[in-house]
Chains A and B, each alone.
Chain A
Amino acid sequence: MLVYDPSTNPLNNNDWAFPLLEILHIAGFAFSIGTIAIVDLKLLGIGMRNQSSAQLLKDTMPWTLVGLAVMLMTGPLIFSSDPNMYLRNESFRFKMGALLIAILYNYTIHRKVAKSNPSGALGVVVGGVSLLLWVSVVFAGLFIAFV
C-alpha cells in the first residue's frame, strides 16, 4: 500500500527549503493581493484619481497573475510538508474556501465591474467585498499556526 510519509519529503529535511517557500509565498501575495488592492482602493475612491479602474485593472493584471501563480505553486508545496495537520486545521479549511471564492470573484464579478468604471455605490461594494475576501484569506493563513 502506498502511504505518504512526510518525513521523506525533502522540505522536511532541509533547514532552508521551508522558510524559502514561505517567503516566496508572502512575496506572491504582496504581488497578487497588492495589485488587486490597488484596483479595490480605486473602486473605493482611494488613490489613483487620474486613472480609471478599467485602466488600472488592465495594467496590474499581469502582476496579479504572476503573484497568484507563485502563491499557487508554493502553497501546495508548503501543504505537502504536513498534509494531515493542514487537513485537520480549521483555519486552513476556511482559507481554502475563502481563497476559492476570492479567486472566482476576482475573475468574474470584480473584473467585470472594474472594467465598467462604476461610479459610487457599486464600486464601493465590489471593491469592499474583494478587500474583505483577500484579507480573510491572509488572516486564515496566519491563524493556521494559532488554532
Chain B
Amino acid sequence: MLLSFAQFIQSTAFFTELRGSGYVYPVILSLHMVTIALFGGMILMTDMRLLGLAMRSYPVSDVIDQFRTPKRIGFVLMVALGVLMACCKAEEYYYNDWFRLKMALLAVVALHALIFRRRVYNRAAELDQMPSLPAGAKLAAGISLVLWIGIACAGRGIGYIEPPLDKIHAQFLEAPTASPQGAVTTAHRH
C-alpha cells in the first residue's frame, strides 16, 4: 500500500523530471541544509536558553516568543524541501532504514510539541517570573535538543544506504523515456 504509493508518487511526471534534472535536485538539497542553519540554529538557541547554556541575559520569553515566527517559517520551508526530495526517491527511501528512523523521530517531535507546548513554550512569560526554570522546561529543552540532533544525523545517514536496485521498479517505469542523467541518478553509484 505505502510502497505502491511511493512508486506512484515518484513516477509522476513532475518528480521524474525533478529527479533527472542535473542541478535542481542539489539546489533543493542545499536549500534544505540552509534551513538547518537558519531554523536549526534557532532551535539550538531556544533549547540552550531553557537549559541555561546560552543567551542567559535574555528573558526566556524574549527568546521563545521572538524566534517563534521565523522558526515556523523555517520549519515549513524545511519540510517542503524535504518532501520534494523524498518524493523524488520515494520508493528507494521506503526501504531506507535511516529514512524510517528520521520519520519516526519527526513523529516523536510532534508528540513532544503535544506534551510540552502548553506546559512550557506557551507559558514563557510565566517562566520569566520564576526564580529558576522548572525541571519540566529543562526536560523539554533537553529532549528537543536530542531529537533534532538525532534527526540531522538520521538525515545524513539516508545518503549512505545504497538503493536496493533489485527491489526498485522505478527504473523500469522510467526506462523508455529516461535521459542519461535520470538513469545515472536512479542507479546512483552503480
Contacts and interface: CB of A to CB of B under 8 A. Distances in A.
A134 interface: yes
A14 to B, nearest CB: 13
B66 interface: yes
Contacts of B69: 47
Interface in A18-69: 19, 22-23, 26-27, 29-31, 33-35, 37-38, 41, 46-51, 55, 59-60, 62-63
Contacts of A4: none
Interface of A is mostly: helix
Given A50-B62, A59-B57, A146-B23, A23 B152 contact: yes
Q: Say which size band chain B's interface belongs to.
A: 20 to 34
Interface string B116-152: 0000000000000000000000000000000001001
B157 interface: yes
A146 B26 contact: yes
B169 interface: no
B149 A50 contact: no
B34 A51 contact: no
A138 B69 CA distance: 23
A31 B62 contact: no
Interface in B153-188: 153, 156-157, 160
B45 interface: yes
B34 A38 contact: no
A45 to B, nearest CB: 12
B37 A138 contact: yes
A46 B37 contact: no
A110 to B, nearest CB: 16
B41 A48 contact: no
Interface string A66-80: 000000000000000
B54 interface: yes
Given A23-B153, A142-B30, 9 more contacts: A29-B36, A34-B38, A34-B41, A55-B57, A142-B26, A142-B33, A143-B30, A146-B23, A146-B26
25 contacts: A23-B152, A23-B153, A23-B156, A26-B36, A26-B156, A27-B152, A29-B36, A30-B37, A30-B41, A33-B41, A34-B42, A34-B45, A35-B45, A38-B45, A41-B38, A47-B67, A47-B70, A49-B66, A50-B62, A59-B57, A63-B44, A63-B45, A138-B34, A142-B30, A146-B26
Interface of B: 23, 26-27, 29-30, 33-34, 36-38, 40-42, 44-45, 48, 54-55, 57-58, 62, 66-67, 69-70, 149, 152-153, 156-157, 160
